[in-house]
Amino acid sequence: HAEGPPAPPAPAAERPAATTATAQDSGASGSLVPEEYEDVAVSQMRSVIAQRLLMSKQTIPHYYLTMDCEVDALMSLRSKINASPTAEKAGKVSLNDFVVKACALACQEVPECNAEWRDDAIRLHKNVHVGVAMDLGSLGHTQGGLVVPVVKNVQLKGVASISSVVKDYAARAKPADGVDGKMRLTPEEMDGGTFTVSNLGMMGVKQFAAIVNPPQSCILAVGGVRSEVKKDGPDGFREAKVMSVTLSCDHRVVDGAVGAKWLQKFKNLLENPLQMLLQ
């Protein structure tokens, strides 16, 4: 599974009409077994998603780098923040909010991953605008699909501010007025991203590779947190909370060593999360 290119809001619509057909085939016992299928009409959103994904895979030379991050310190810090009186007023923060912040800081350290290919030039963006992939099926749309609203200037935002923006986007991505396919997100809020995060960890996915969202050069796929036993000293062992992340890169812009350097910066931020609160 890979989530990448966004789609504009689809107009309010009923679920596309479906056609069914039945054929006959002989089963192992010789009796006739009905062969049934359903053709579901392609929605406007699904058509746009298909076009963008196909274009990305056909025109961008993808490669993928995976790294494990130990997130014990991050989970502890998040728990302390969410238990504070401030969190009761401002709302709790998620692990993904820290991931978005770490992506922005790593992009500032390795600007090639916050860039785009323009045939005669590589544009290095100074500001980091992080798209956050959201599954519409999980948000109540029966037609499914995905959108990628963009958190602008993440390098200037604190984790609580990032959390507030993402929660607002998710709320407005739900069916507006109870109408499937209708949202209150604007096209402007899904435009201008320079980097994208796709997180399937909450669905039990350990690791996956996402499709680059053009014209961006990188997208980070985030897996779930799991427990692993790590060697600790010559004779000891310890339990660690581990999260796998995979960076998909456009090789025209980001060489392998550069992508690896970005992941090292990202890993260091997640494993030493207080750095993110000081920047």
Catalytic residues: 251, 255
104: nearest Cα among 127, 78, 74: 127
Residues for the chain: how many in total?
A: 279
CB within 8 Å of 83: residues ≥ 6 apart: none
Q: Could you tell me the CA-to-CA distances from 89 to 85, 93, 170, 219 in Å, in that order?
A: 7, 12, 19, 32
What b/e string do you get for 234-268 counting C-beta neighbours within 10 Å, with b at 16 or more? Answer: eeeeeeebbbbbbbbbbeebbeeebbbbbbebbbe
CA atoms within 13 A on the CB side of 48: 15
Q: How far is CA 132 from the centre of its chain?
A: 5
Tokens 């201008």 belong to 192
Q: Would you give the end-to-end CA distance of the chain in angstroms?
A: 33
Inter-axis angle of helices 95-109 and 159-173, nearest 10: 120
